[in-house]
């Protein structure tokens, strides 16, 4: 069974950044393989991991359902889809990346979500770690049949809206039939002036147990604006070290069990 880490939080908060640094931690520090899943329709994990994504689950769904792609003789539709998904995975030295993409049309998510869930259930056998970068919540992951989420990371910014959105996302996730072992809150892009008293009291009111406050960091900002992979930032980077400390607490502890 894999150890599954899932990201949740409002768009633009820092989920893909954290997911990328977690992937770096698992591959570099633990030396283990990761299946990275970009389940956010605004795909960006490939960019921060510095890999070129050529196919997505949404593309496969569109080919099979909308364009009725010709399935090779002797192959079932399910096997063909599985084959296409395997082909769409970007294989890097230490991690593989599967990208969900955005299906065409408004009613198309169910089919693509089912494909993703089915694939993830199987991937449990092949990867020690799975890191899923999500859109706001995790609606598309509900109804998975096997091991759900070991560590849910809810990211939010240190603003009133940030806290309220994190609260809404928490309520949404709690309403889903997903089993979550550990749930942690990470405050992202904290400015130098720190967190205001008002935001601090909103966090306390919301009852969030905040595991780490990640500062706004110029190296990360420069890195993304120049289109570099986040895997290239220095080992001494403060945000990377915060993520390392955090993961030592959860992932490392689980690896030792
Ligand atoms: N700690 C940080 N310091 C500076 N910039 C950050 C930090 N975390 C994220 N960013 C920047 O904020 C933007 C949104 O981050 P991203 O991880 O893509 O968010 P999300 O995946 O939640 O949409 C990106 O441009 C990213 O480089
Ligand atoms: Mg993202």
| Nearest atom, ligand 1, residue 11 CA | 23
Cα(48) to centroid(ligand 1), Å: 10
Total number of domains constituting the chain: 1
Listed in sequence order, the DSSP H helices in 28-159 are: 45-49, 57-61, 77-88, 109-123
Ligand nearest to the CA of 153: 1
Candidate of 221, 237, 239 to mutate for ligand 1, largest count of ligand atoms within 8 Å of Cβ: 221
Ligand in closest contact with the CA of 42: 2
For 82-96, 105-119, 144-158, which range has the lowest pLDDT when averaged over its residues? 105-119
Ligand 1: which residues within 6 Å by Cβ? Answer: 9, 11-17, 44, 188-189, 214, 216-217, 220-221, 224, 239
Q: What's the domain range around 10?
A: 3-256
Q: For residue 185, what pLDDT is reported? A: 98
Q: Which atom of ligand 1 is the closest one to the Cα of 9?
A: 22
End-to-end Cα spacing for the chain: 13
Higher pLDDT, 115 or 36: 36
Task: Read off the CATH number of the domain in which 96 is found.
Answer: 3.40.50.300
Which are the contacts of 80, defined by CB distance < 8 A and separation ≥ 6? 64, 71, 72
The per-residue pLDDT for range 125-172, each reduced to its tens digit, is 899 999 999 887 666 665 554 448 999 999 999 999 999 999 999 998
Q: Which atom of ligand 1 is nearest to the CA of 155?
A: 22
Over residues 93-112, the mean pLDDT reads: 82
Q: Which residues surround ligand 2, an ion (CB under 5 A)?
A: 15-16, 40, 44
pTM above threshold 0.85: yes
Ligand 1 mutation pick, 7, 17, 100, 185, max ligand atoms within 8 A of CB = 17
Between 236 and 63, the higher pLDDT residue: 236
Residue closest to 162 by CA, chosen among 203, 121, 118: 203
Give the Cα separation of 173 and 248 in Å (integer). 25
The CA 15 to ligand 2 mean position distance, Å, reads 5
Between 24 and 109, residue with greater pLDDT: 24
């Amino acid at each position: 069974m894999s150890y599954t880490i899932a990201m949740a939080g409002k768009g633009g908060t820092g989920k893909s950044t954290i997911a990328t640094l977690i992937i770096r931690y698992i591959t570099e520090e633990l030396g283990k393989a990761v299946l990275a899943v970009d389940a956010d329709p605004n795909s960006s994990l490939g960019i921060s991991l510095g890999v070129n994504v050529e196919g997505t689950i949404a593309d496969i769904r569109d080919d099979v359902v909308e364009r009725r792609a010709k399935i090779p003789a002797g192959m079932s539709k399910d096997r063909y889809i599985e084959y296409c998904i395997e082909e769409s995975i970007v294989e890097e030295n230490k991690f593989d990346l599967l990208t969900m993409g955005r299906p065409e049309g408004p009613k198309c998510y169910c089919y693509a979500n089912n494909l993703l869930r089915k694939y993830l259930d199987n991937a449990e056998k092949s990867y020690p770690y799975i890191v899923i970068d999500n859109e706001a919540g995790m609606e598309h992951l509900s109804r998975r049949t096997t091991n759900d989420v070991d560590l849910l990371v809810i990211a939010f910014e240190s603003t009133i809206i940030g806290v309220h959105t994190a609260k809404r996302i928490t309520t949404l996730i709690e309403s889903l039939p997903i089993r979550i072992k550990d749930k942690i809150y990470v405050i992202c892009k904290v400015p130098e002036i720190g967190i205001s008293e008002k935001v601090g009291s909103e966090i306390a009111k919301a009852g969030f147990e905040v595991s780490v406050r990640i500062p706004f960091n110029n190296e990360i900002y420069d890195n993304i604006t120049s289109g570099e992979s986040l895997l290239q930032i220095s080992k001494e980077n403060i945000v990377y070290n915060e993520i390392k400390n955090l993961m030592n607490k959860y992932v490392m502890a689980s690896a030792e069990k």
